[in-house]
Amino acid sequence: MVQQPFNHHRDYLLHELTALADIAGRHFHRDGLTARLHDLAQALLVSNPEPRPPLSNRTHVDTTFSLDLVSGIVLTAQSVIRGYPQMTEEDWADKATIALAELSALLRKEHAARLRGLYVIADPEIAGSSDLAGLIAAALQGGAKAVQLRDKHSDKGDQLPLAKTLAQMCRHHDALLFINDHADLAVAANADGIHVGQHDLPVEEARKSLLPHQLVGTSNALVDEAHASIGIGADYLAVGAMFPTKTKLNTRPAGVETLRMVRHITDLPIVAIGGINATNVAEVVQAGADAICVTSAILAAEDPEAASAELVEIIEKGLATRREA
């Protein structure tokens, strides 16, 4: 009774390892990774050389599909390894873990590259009595490309319905959703990742709870903090505060010059945050920010959609000018 599910998992894994090898080779041009994934597929064939259907051969690589595939394949690999002790004896598990981690990192980098434009923090404390989901819907309609749910007071179970709603809204608008601090909530809501501060869960610990494709962004006020975040594998860096802000009272000043220095040390997406509005956003983009994070500039605006559209236009012009320079 156990052998049939095991065979099913192994056949699934065999097909998908081959598909991942194809993605690693044609999409990322990583021949070494391609070879290792093919070797893992070959190990499965040797374990049970019975005839099976032709292996999958995808000619088009869709990043979202690939991210979902890597997330699922890790769980399947664990099931196969548990069901076939010989693979553990041959270090198959270690090889699979390393290869899948490398491919996950490549896919996360591509996923994080979408972090461009307006990034809005959904904070119920700032929204007050207003409909927070409605405010974010207006921001997305105005062109926002990322949202972070930051609720410092509600229990996670109470936050989950809103988190799921925001995730659906963001997918509809091809935007990213991040959850502040809580990796388990990000998994439950199927968010794109989490954002952590300097004293929150470390990146490497957060990854133990997240799905392989989910991103981790970090807050940084100093160049040394940005260096450290890069070293531990952050997928994007938030730098701030750019200017004085009343939205978050315990933030530390960074300033535009720190942003410029961080831009020189990394090609990771950089999100600038803190006191940014329509009057100073162009300066911040020129200093190196890929995305601009705001809270009250949208949540407290008389017309959140129009406020978003105005910021989006300025950001896009700034990014275009920077590319041409």
Say how many C-beta atoms besides its own lie within 10 A of residue 63's C-beta.
15
Specify the residue for token string 């095991």. Answer: 6
Of the candidates 165, 63, 178, which has an alpha carbon nearest to the alpha carbon of residue 119? 178
Rounded CA separation 234/109 (Å)? 10
What is the distance between the alpha carbons of residues 316 and 309, in angstroms, rounded to a whole number? 10
Task: Identify any residues that bridge with 272 across adjacent strands, giving them in sequence order.
Answer: 239, 292
Instruction: Given the residues 10, 36, 207, 248, select the one marked as catalytic.
Output: 248
Is the Cβ–Cβ distance between 281 and 311 less than 8 Å? yes
Q: Please, are residues 299 and 135 in contact by the beta-carbon 8 Å criterion?
A: yes
Residue 108 annotated as catalytic: no
Give SS3 for 167.
helix
- In angstroms, the CA 246 to CA 251 distance is 9
Q: 307 preceded by cis ω (within 30°)?
A: no
109 is catalytic: no
Report the alpha-carbon distance of residue 173 to residue 64 in Å, rounded: 15
Helices (H), 48-123: 63-83, 85-89, 92-112
Catalytic choice (66, 219, 229, 308): 219
Residue of 150, 207, 229, 308 marked active site: 150
Is 116 catalytic? The answer is no
| Residues with a known catalytic role | 150, 219, 248
